[in-house]
């Protein structure tokens, strides 16, 4: 028996039935998977697309609202929503119209337009930070904020929580191993030691936080207000406020990455919990699914950025007075803040990411969490449910985890994959790698009931297999 309370043998039997069923149900995806292997490395356009629970990738025909259809014409209710990229539903109508409008007006020019100003104005009002920058992805936004943090504080070390994910930023790819910072397992091509300038500590551990900051070399704490990438882990009451106070006390910056937690409130946890970060980061759904990220900063930071820039430019000047920097700050990509993304972000902020959208999403997640709890109780399983805003997750541990390590200890990958595959075979998709769900403005109460009922059926079938 495993910590999840389910025997591995039973999971294996259950999984093999589901694999066969998937193969029988998805002949066209199979054909495309075979064809894809001829031209795409690993048979997918990005290698992690092969990491789902399915025997081969499920190929998508189209997606709209809370649903998508695969190439074998099965319709799915989507609780993954592109892992938040489509948090407001697939192809929201205002974003689709914006895409069409901008499609003939130029896609990218390396120059700003009025849309950028409108976005800046909305973001300032919504998140309470006065100045904004636009990037191509949330990963980029985190990377650039980190550069600014090091430049401003002139301190080298980034502090993160063990089990975090902030995109493929090198500096965050570390774990805490009993008080020592080590590389995250699985990194490809890592040749230098990340622990030189990154430090990982457990979430919800005020003492570890203070110890790490006390060393005096920390430029910033980069964190999600609640962890969402190693299973969901909520902060203890007041922990985020302590993060703010302690970073301030020890001269480190407080960077809040709301790329996922923006599902909590239209102003994110930042506004809901009055976090007052120095920098705020968001990506994924900010332009309604069109690639885009943003970061905002306080007035104080904007002045510190100016001062850091002046100092750096000064250092880049030759004795004759001309600069050798030529705009090479180490930040920005060619397509950052392109005209298409800006127009779509404007439409998304003005018409899609609205109070009404959140008013629809939040109660559905509550309904889902309550349903998960009922199913867990019915089957007498030692599992728990964690909920935050429009997101909730069932975890294979009796008490909700308080740290990344606790959340990870509750992983039972084979069980998770088997349950996900059962759901996929019955037209429901949830976020891969753990058991997180997200409701969007097009999700219905009936969709939520369907997920609850299908999970119940999966567990009934699984628990009937002799372990």
- Tell me the C-alpha distance between 205 and 401, whole Å: 13
**Site for ligand PMP, residues 224 to 283, rule: CB under 6 A:** 224, 229, 257, 259-260, 283
Does the footprint of ligand PMP cover residue 139 (CB under 6 A)? yes
Q: Does 284 bind ligand PMP (CB under 6 A)?
A: yes
Q: How far is the CB of 174 from ligand PMP (least distance, A)?
A: 15
The one segment of 101-109, 136-144, 147-155, 448-456 that binds ligand PMP by CB under 6 A:
136-144
Stretch that binds ligand PMP, among 87-95, 133-141, 313-321, 330-338 (CB under 6 A): 133-141
Residue 218 tokens, joined = 């920390």
Q: How far is the CB of 244 from ligand PMP (least distance, A)?
A: 18
Closest residue to ligand PMP: CB criterion: 167
Identify which of 164, 344, 333 has the alpha carbon closest to the alpha carbon of residue 256: 164
76-115 residues near ligand PMP, rule: CB under 6 A: 83
**Taking a C-beta distance cutoff of 8 angstroms, is the pair 338, 419 a contact?**
no
Q: Looking at residues 191 to 230 of the shown chain, list those that interact with ligand PMP (rule: CB under 6 A).
A: 224, 229
What CA–CA distances, in Å, run from 380 to 143, 171, 238, 301? 44, 42, 32, 51
Question: Which of these, 155, 300, 295, lies nearest to 220 by C-alpha position?
Answer: 155
Direct distance between the N- and C-terminal alpha carbons of the chain, in angstroms, rounded to an integer:
8
In whole angstroms, the minimum distance from the beta carbon of 435 to ligand PMP comes to: 16
Tell me how many residues contact ligand PMP (CB under 6 A): 15
Q: Compute CA distances 113 → 23, 116, 126, 296, 426, whole Å.
A: 49, 6, 21, 19, 46
Counting contacts by CB under 6 A, is residue 138 touching ligand PMP?
yes
Question: Of 155, 166, 346, 391, which lies in the binding site for ligand PMP, with binding defined by CB under 6 A?
Answer: 166
Q: Which is nearer to ligand PMP, 80 or 157 (CB)?
A: 80
C-beta separation of 164 from 306 below 8 A: no
* Site pattern 320..359 for ligand PMP (x: CB under 6 A): ----------------------------------------
Told to check if 434 binds ligand PMP by CB under 6 A, we report: no
Q: Which residues bind ligand PMP (CB under 6 A)?
A: 83, 137-139, 142, 165-167, 224, 229, 257, 259-260, 283-284
């Amino acid at each position: 028996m495993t910590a999840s309370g389910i025997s591995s043998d039973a999971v294996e039997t259950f999984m093999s039935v589901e694999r066969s069923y998937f193969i029988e149900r998805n002949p066209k995806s199979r054909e495309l998977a075979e064809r894809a292997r001829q031209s795409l490395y690993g048979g997918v356009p990005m290698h992690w697309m092969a990491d789902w629970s399915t025997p081969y990738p499920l190929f998508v025909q189209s997606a709209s609202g809370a649903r998508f259809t695969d190439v074998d014409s099965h319709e799915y209710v989507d609780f993954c929503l592109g892992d938040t990229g489509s948090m407001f539903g697939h192809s929201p109508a205002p974003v689709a119209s914006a895409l069409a409008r901008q499609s003939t007006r130029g896609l990218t020019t390396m120059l700003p337009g009025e849309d950028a100003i409108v976005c800046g104005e909305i973001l300032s009002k919504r998140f309470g930070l006065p100045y904004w920058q636009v990037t191509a992805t949330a990963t980029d936004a985190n990377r650039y904020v980190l550069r600014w943090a090091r430049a401003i504080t002139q301190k080298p070390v980034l502090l993160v929580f063990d089990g975090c994910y902030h995109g493929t930023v090198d500096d965050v790819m570390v774990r805490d191993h009993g008080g020592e910072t080590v590389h995250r397992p699985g990194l490809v091509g890592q040749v230098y030691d990340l622990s030189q300038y990154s430090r990982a500590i457990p979430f919800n551990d005020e003492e570890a936080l203070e110890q790490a900051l006390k060393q005096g070399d920390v430029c910033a704490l980069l964190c999600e207000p609640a962890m969402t990438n190693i299973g969901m882990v909520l902060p203890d009451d007041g922990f985020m406020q302590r993060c703010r106070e302690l970073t301030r006390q020890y001269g480190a910056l407080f960077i809040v990455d709301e790329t996922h937690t923006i599902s909590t409130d239209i102003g994110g946890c930042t506004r809901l919990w009055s976090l007052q970060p120095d920098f705020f980061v968001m990506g994924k759904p900010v332009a309604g699914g069109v690639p885009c990220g943003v970061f905002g900063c306080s007035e104080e930071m904007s002045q510190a950025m100016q001062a850091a820039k002046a100092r750096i430019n000064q250092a880049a000047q030759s004795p004759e007075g001309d600069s050798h920097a030529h705009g090479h700050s180490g930040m920005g990509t060619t397509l950052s803040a392109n005209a298409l993304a800006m127009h779509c972000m404007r439409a998304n902020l003005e018409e899609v990411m609205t109070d009404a959208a959140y008013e629809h999403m939040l109660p559905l997640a509550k309904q889902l969490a309550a349903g998960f709890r009922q199913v867990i109780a019915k089957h007498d399983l030692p599992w728990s449910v964690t909920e935050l805003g429009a997101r909730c997750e069932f975890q294979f541990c009796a008490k909700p985890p308080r740290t990344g390590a606790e959340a990870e200890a509750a992983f039972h990958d084979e069980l998770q994959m088997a349950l996900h595959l059962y759901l996929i075979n019955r037209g429901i998709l949830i976020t891969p790698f753990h058991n997180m769900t997200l409701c969007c403005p097009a999700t219905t109460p009936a969709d939520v009931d369907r997920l609850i009922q299908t999970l119940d059926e999966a567990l009934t079938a699984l628990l009937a297999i002799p372990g």
